[in-house]
Amino acid sequence: MDIKLKRSLLALFFPNRCPVCGAIIGSMERFCISCTGKLTPYTGTSRPPHTKSFTACFVYDENIRPAIMLLKRGVCGNADYALGMYLAEKLRENGISDRIDLLIPVPMSRSGKAERGFNQSELICKVVGRELGIPTARSAAAKIRSTLPQKSLGRMSRRVNVRNAFSVRKPEIIAGKRVLIIDDICTTGSTISELAKVLSSSGASEVHAASCCRTQAGRKNNASL
């Protein structure tokens, strides 16, 4: 079914809401006008090690935080749509979407996914992939061990915490492919960097990365990456 039709039908029963303030908005809208005006576009140019490019839409701050929290809790139907659509738009604008064969969501450990019930990076991939016409490889990579919550750790400890946490289960899927790692939020870049390293050594020809939000360097927050 056409996405516009699907969303407008759904909105008849479950009104579409701004994922920041909860105001009712049009079925194809992302945030309400007031909240949109408060979002800070990300303009940084740094990229995590082992990646060829890094794209982010917004600076992670208190104005976008409620949308990320809703996405992680999976209770708001519009957080994945709003964040995913902005990310797809940015990837199209900066030309990265033309250079990508596959989307790779940052994997969660089996127990982590069982506990949450879903992987929020996969939700973003679904929206971005549909919008850009790029397939998602959900099972190519896996998180092979549990890690401590990154938000509880400093920069160096984060790096150690995710070391050897990922493995490529199906190298034939990514061999020779230009892949784009997608996550909801990037803090130090340790998780993305570790996954990028594994994907490169397993045969991906190029590894790019993107996240909906990126924290400003040095700013303390509750992001979990």
| Residues in touch with Zn ion (CB under 5 A) | 18, 20-21, 23, 32, 35
Q: How far is the CB of 173 from Zn ion (least distance, A)?
A: 39
3-state secondary structure of 56: strand
Q: How far is the CB of 122 from Zn ion (least distance, A)?
A: 25
Dihedral sign from CA coordinates of 207, 121, 159, 55:
positive
Q: How far is the CB of 29 from Zn ion (least distance, A)?
A: 10
- Contact predicate 194/163, CB 8 Å: yes
Q: Which is nearer to Zn ion, 21 or 69 (CB)?
A: 21
Q: How far is the CB of 126 from Zn ion (least distance, A)?
A: 23
Q: How far apart are the C-alpha atoms of 202 and 68, rounded to whole Å?
A: 31
Q: How far is the CB of 38 from Zn ion (least distance, A)?
A: 9
Q: What does the chain come to in residues? A: 225
- Contact predicate 33/16, CB 8 Å: no
3-state secondary structure of 178: strand
Q: Which helix (H) or strand (E) holds 211?
A: strand 206-214
What is the maximal distance between C-alpha atoms in the chain? 49
